[in-house]
Amino acid sequence: MVLTQIDAPGHEGVWRIEDTKSGLLGLIAIHSTQLGPAAGGVRMRPYDSVDDALEDALRLSQGMTLKNAAAGLPLGGGKAVIIGDPTRDKTPGLLQAFGRAVARLDGRYWTAEDMGMTPSDMAEIASETRCVAGLEQGRHASGDPSPVTARGIFNAIRAVARHRLGSDDLSGRTVSVQGLGNVGWNLCVFLHEQGARLVVSDIDPARTARAEAEFDARVVVGDAIFDVEADIFAPCAIGGILDADRIDRLRVKAVAGGANNQLATAEDGHRLHRRGILYAPDFVANGGGIINVATEILRIDARETWVADKLAALDATMDRILRAAKARDVSPHHVAEAIVADVLQQDAA
Ligand code: NAD
């Protein structure tokens, strides 16, 4: 396994990982360790190129700095990506080689699950490094973070409903959900329990068929999710989906979902605001997962109470952001960024 540091302005360190024996090609990006060790999951995707993977790693690790600070965690921002198809290319050898790369960073980066990764993959990585969370076994094991992520997003949906629709009662409200994976599915369970009507899309037809059967969801195919008339849109698949064209197409009053980096550019936050669509900043809405993961990194004993307290604090932060955005007539995304900048500045002082 060869770990080579590469130049990436604005980041504390970025490394390319290559292991010819297992076929591992990936990157670890540390954006900031100002608040603590950089923490953020590892994502495995069949990226088209190393440049695409690098771009994703840089954006995601920066997003983790924002997310961890917004959640009040003593953790910095980092992320790893592995280039490959998780259903075909993921082997124990590849995961172990990745674990050796994490170990070489000597506690500066902690990894966990992201897209394409499971708790059993984390166990494989843990055979080579202690800096891995999201395990299923061990005194502080936190397991799959997705249910807590989904709980946080559900709270964010209620917050935007309260601010934009006048009530956080979701019964009879329509929520469109893009992506029915670990996060999207758990979110649909909560929404269905509350009597929300669901419109869903996923590139995997088996998942949409199941949602139709279990939640009486209406299924739309592909990009049609952006044209659905609904109260709230919850993006729970991939990032960069809210660009000028799609924002123009949206027929919803609010957006609150789990995907990282939903805005294609920072300007898209203003675009949503100008269209009167209330946007729950993604790095606040989806902070539940890292809160769950943090219990393992920080060795928290009273896990459940700690997670519940942090989720309640995150909910209060979201409420404060949405109130401030309304009072100042600005995009919540920019209020949230300013709040995080304050946290980092106060820490540096
Ligand atoms: P996942 O891989 O389990 O699920 C993603 C789902 O999206 C899959 O069902 C996939 O088929 C579907 N999908 C992919 N492209 C799509 C498209 N173009 N249209 C519709 N569906 C599409 O991933 P996950 O863990 O559920 O994560 C979802 C998002 O939430 C990601 O952006 C992830 O980074 C973010 N996130 C996850 C967590 C967590 O705890 N898992 C925490 C924070 C943020």
Q: Is the CB of 288 under 6 A from ligand 1?
A: no
Q: What is the pLDDT of residues 71-87, one digit of tens each?
A: 999 999 999 999 999 99
Q: Is 142 in the pocket of ligand 1 (CB under 6 A)?
A: no
Point out the catalytic residue in the list 67, 79, 90, 253.
79
Residues 6+ apart with CB under 8 A from 123: 135, 136, 137
* Position 348 pLDDT exceeds 90: no
| Alpha-carbon gap, residue 173 to 184, rounded angstroms | 17
Q: If you average pLDDT over residues 114-121, what whole number do you get?
A: 92
For residue range 269-297, list pLDDT tens digits in order.
999 999 999 999 999 999 999 999 999 99
Sequence-distant (6+) residues with CB within 8 A of 195 are 170, 171, 172
Token pair recorded at residue 302 = 């009273």
Ligand 1 mean position, distance from CA 285 (Å):
14
- Check whether 25 has a pLDDT greater than 90: yes
Query: What's the rounded Cα separation, in Å, for the pair 197 and 294?
Result: 33
Residue 161 DSSP symbol: I
Residue 344: how many CB atoms within 10 A of its CB? 16
Ligand 1 lined by 240 (C-beta under 6 Å): no
pLDDT the model gives residue 257: 98
Q: Looking at domain 146-287+315-343, does it have CATH number 3.40.50.720?
A: yes
* Choice from 223, 227, 238, 282 to test ligand 1 binding pocket (greatest atom count within 8 A of CB): 238
Q: Alpha helix (H) ranges present in the chain?
A: 50-70, 92-104, 119-125, 146-160, 182-193, 205-215, 244-249, 267-274, 282-285, 288-297, 303-328, 332-348
CB 15 within 8 Å of CB 25: no
193-247 pLDDT, tens digit per residue, is 999 999 999 999 999 999 999 999 999 999 999 999 999 999 999 999 999 999 9
Q: Which residues are CB-contacts of 286 (< 8 A; sequence separation ≥ 6)?
A: 67, 149, 152, 153, 183, 257, 258, 259, 260
Distance 180 CA to ligand 1 centre (A): 7
Q: State whether the beta carbon of 149 lies less than 6 angstroms from ligand 1.
A: yes
Tell me: pLDDT of 123 over 90: yes
| 146-287+315-343 shares the fold of 2-126 | yes
Homologous superfamily (CATH) for 2-126: Leucine Dehydrogenase, chain A, domain 1 (3.40.50.10860)
User: Residue 85: what pLDDT?
Assistant: 97
pLDDT at 49: 97
CA of 203 to the centre of ligand 1 (A): 11
Domain boundaries, the chain: 2-126, 146-287+315-343
Q: Give the confidence band of 347 by pLDDT, cuts at 50, 70, 90.
A: confident
Is the pLDDT at 69 greater than 90? The verdict is yes
The chain-wide mean pLDDT, for the chain, equals: 96
- pLDDT(37) > 90: yes
pLDDT at 349: 84
The three state secondary structure string of 96-112 is HHHHHHHHHCCCCEEEC
The reported pTM is 0.95
pLDDT at position 220 is 98
Three-state SS at 187: helix
Q: Indicate if ligand 1 lies below 6 Å from the C-beta of 151.
A: no
User: How many angstroms separate the alpha carbon of residue 47 from the centre of ligand 1?
Assistant: 15
pLDDT, tens digit, 9 for 90 and up, residues 288-340: 999 999 999 999 999 999 999 999 999 999 999 999 999 999 999 999 999 99
Task: Give residue 265's pLDDT.
Answer: 94
Exposure of 72 in the CB half-sphere (CA atoms within 13 A): 12
